Amino acid sequence: MDNSLIQLAKQAILVPTGLQETDIHRVMDQLITGAVDDGDIYFQSSHYESWVMEDGIIKDASHNIEQGAGVRALSGEKTGLAYSDKIELNELLTATKNVKAIARQGQSAKVALSAAVHPTPLYPSVNPLNSLTDQEKVDLLLKIDTQTRQLDPRIEQVIVSLVGVQEHILIANQGNSLTGDVRPLVRMNVSVIVEDKGRREQGSMGGGARADYHYFLEQDRAMSFAKEAVRQALVNLEATPAPAGSMTVVLGSGWPGILLHEAIGHGLEGDFNRKGSSAFSGRIGERVASSLCTIVDNGTLAGRRGSLSVDDEGTATQNTMLIENGILKGYMQDKLNARLMGVQSTGNGRRESYAHTPLPRMTNTYMLPGESEPEEIIQSVKNGLYAKSFSGGQVDITSGKFVFSASEAYLIEDGKITRPVKGATLVGNGPEVLTRVSMVGNDLELDSGVGTCGKEGQSVPVGVGQPTLKIDGLTVGGTDV
């Protein structure tokens, strides 16, 4: 039930601190006066735990609590933020006084009030931390560690980690409307080091969801991460240096969608486009990709790591068309940038915590499937690179240049995947790269739930995905010149 989310959030945040709803109204009344156009109070209470198994033992584990409230005032293009770790009326009033300093001069352009959002929950209001007993968590890690070590005699080191978060969010918007959310998030990771004939390599695989720890027990997920990490490490033991230069690159399905996140996604965030600092600024309606490419940012997928029932400004998330059949359709917006660009928020206003300002951020960004069989795509390549998995990437949104590093890649020779190569970094130009997509697979896959995106020093969980893709001409940065 929608209202129950708000009740749960109130229960978690207001009840222990004794803060009343009338106190929140009082702060909001003081906040939205004078030249302040809009503003909000963001209450957060997060419980986080982490268990790590290394050398076959649980060396340490931690439990962490983060709570506080951030008060934000918006006036024109200006943002004021002040926050406190104490959820108390006096602290909120002081913060309000501080943030109103931004609106000392200037005219007010009051924002039209919107009705309170009663989100449809996309994930259960569970507390992952209590979903298994501490003994059960320890037993799970022990079991994974033991079984992983039995997979191959070349395994030297196994590290298994388990992380769970429960976050309660309460957002007070103009017009005394309150929105709440209860956000579970779990993640598990297995990394291994293998050694053979004096050569060492690593492999790592993880997954997660907005769910509780039982997620890892279903479909034998935990062990599938371990098997995948070992497989990857063993492949890398055989890898030879990657080639250097421009060539045809086939990207695997799933996590390689990080390409879309870096090369396209960041450049389509509203703030950069409002400021004209993105290589995609002012290009709505133009062709930015081959007609095979349709890309969305979808915050509404049930249970996904990048999904949110409401964003951090209290706007319901949505499925936003970014690129349709190669044509740029839209940007991802938070409230501030939407207002300044004369459009509606797309539910992409996200913040790392109460101590950070919201920014337009991605949720789950992926390309829709095409019509080619993945095998057919590989067969069509005479000489090229097949990049199956990646370790991460980065983009300069102004020049459009992006980089990402393959953690598992193979040469394609005469339409066949042949030998594994190591150290393949891909570089390219965001607005150009998708114009060279010549085949799109029918095998759309989303990543396993491990993505974290950084922007202006703020980290938020995200999802990516794509079908198998063929790009005609991308620079591969190996050592074999």
Partner 1 sequence: MQTEQEIQRLETIIHGLLEEARNQGASSASAGLSVDNGLSVSVRLGEVETIENHCSQGLGVSVYFGQTKGSASSTDISEKSIKETVAAACSIARYTSEDSYGGLPDADKLATEFNDLDLYHPWDIDAEEAITLATDCENSARQYHSDISNSEGASVDSYSGIHIFGNSLGFLHGYASTRHSLSCSVIGEREGAMERDYWYSVARNKQDLESTEFIGQKAAERTIQRLGARGLSSRKCPVIYSAEIASSLIGSFLGAISGGSLYRKSSFLLDSLDTQVFPDFMRLYEQPHLLGALGSSMYDAEGVSTRANEIVSAGVLNTYLLSSYSARKLGMQTTGHAGGVRNLCVEAGDHNLAQLLKQMDTGLLVTELMGQGVNPVTGDYSRGAAGFWVEQGEIQYPVQEITIAGNLKDMFQHILAVGNDIEYRGNIRTGSILVEEMAIAGE
Site for partner 1, residues 348 to 407, rule: CB under 8 A: 355, 357, 391-394, 396, 398-399, 401-405
Q: Does 283 participate in binding partner 1 (rule CB under 8 A)? A: no
Nearer to partner 1, 123 or 386 (CB): 386
Find the binder of partner 1 among 81, 205, 295, 378 (CB under 8 A): 81
Which residues inside 95-114 make contact with partner 1, applying CB under 8 A?
95, 98-99, 101-102
Smallest gap from residue 404 Cβ to partner 1 (A): 6
* CA-to-CA separations, 83 to 44, 45, 148, 269, 290, in angstroms, rounded: 11, 13, 45, 25, 45
CA-CA-CA-CA torsion for 334, 339, 340, 346, nearest 10 degrees?
Answer: 30
Cβ neighbours around 25 below 10 Å, total: 13
Instruction: Pull the structure tokens for residue 338.
Output: 């939407």
Find the binder of partner 1 among 37, 167, 181, 201 (CB under 8 A): 201
Q: Does 242 participate in binding partner 1 (rule CB under 8 A)? A: yes
Helix (H) or strand (E) holding 13: helix 2-17
Q: Does 11 participate in binding partner 1 (rule CB under 8 A)? A: no
Find the binder of partner 1 among 143, 214, 275, 382 (CB under 8 A): 275
Smallest gap from residue 321 Cβ to partner 1 (A): 25
Chain position carrying tokens 């069509």: 380
DSSP-assigned states of every residue in 170-205: EEEEGGGEEEEEEEEEEEEEEEEEEEETTEEEEEEE
Stretch that binds partner 1, among 165-173, 243-251, 376-384, 436-444 (CB under 8 A): 243-251
- The strand pairing partners of 184, in sequence order, are 166
Find the binder of partner 1 among 171, 185, 295, 424 (CB under 8 A): 424
* Helix-, strand-, coil-residue percentages of the chain, each rounded to 5: 25, 40, 35
Count residues near partner 1 (CB under 8 A).
78
- The strand pairing partners of 185, in sequence order, are 165
Find the binder of partner 1 among 423, 461, 465, 467 (CB under 8 A): 423
Distance from C-alpha of 210 to C-alpha of 208, rounded to nearest angstrom: 7
Q: Does 427 participate in binding partner 1 (rule CB under 8 A)? A: yes
Nearer to partner 1, 90 or 399 (CB): 399
Nearer to partner 1, 104 or 416 (CB): 104
Smallest gap from residue 416 Cβ to partner 1 (A): 24
Q: Does 83 participate in binding partner 1 (rule CB under 8 A)? A: yes
Instruction: Pull the structure tokens for residue 83.
Output: 């926050």
Q: Does 419 participate in binding partner 1 (rule CB under 8 A)? A: no
**Strands (E) located in 23-122:** 38-54, 57-75, 78-84
DSSP 8-state assignment for residue 328: E
Q: Does 341 participate in binding partner 1 (rule CB under 8 A)? A: no
Stretch that binds partner 1, among 130-138, 219-227, 298-306, 458-466 (CB under 8 A): 130-138
Smallest gap from residue 80 Cβ to partner 1 (A): 5
Smallest gap from residue 63 Cβ to partner 1 (A): 4
Distance from C-alpha of 464 to C-alpha of 364, rounded to nearest angstrom: 5
Find the binder of partner 1 among 429, 438, 442, 458 (CB under 8 A): 429
Distance from C-alpha of 357 to C-alpha of 174, rounded to nearest angstrom: 17
Spell out the alpha helix ranges (H) of 159-286: 214-217, 221-237, 258-260, 270-274
Smallest gap from residue 78 Cβ to partner 1 (A): 5
Nearer to partner 1, 324 or 472 (CB): 472
Stretch that binds partner 1, among 72-80, 288-296, 311-319, 321-329 (CB under 8 A): 72-80
Q: Does 66 participate in binding partner 1 (rule CB under 8 A)? A: yes
Smallest gap from residue 138 Cβ to partner 1 (A): 5
Smallest gap from residue 362 Cβ to partner 1 (A): 18
Helix (H) or strand (E) holding 16: helix 2-17
Distance from C-alpha of 179 to C-alpha of 173, rounded to nearest angstrom: 8
Stretch that binds partner 1, among 84-92, 120-128, 410-418, 459-467 (CB under 8 A): 84-92
Describe the crossing of helices 221-237 and 134-149 by its angle, rounded to 10 degrees: 30
Q: Does 290 participate in binding partner 1 (rule CB under 8 A)? A: no
Residue type, 196: D
**Strands (E) located in 361-449:** 364-367, 383-395, 401-413, 416-422, 425-429, 437-440, 445-446
Cβ neighbours around 452 below 10 Å, total: 12
Nearer to partner 1, 255 or 402 (CB): 402
Find the binder of partner 1 among 428, 449, 461, 465 (CB under 8 A): 428
Smallest gap from residue 349 Cβ to partner 1 (A): 15
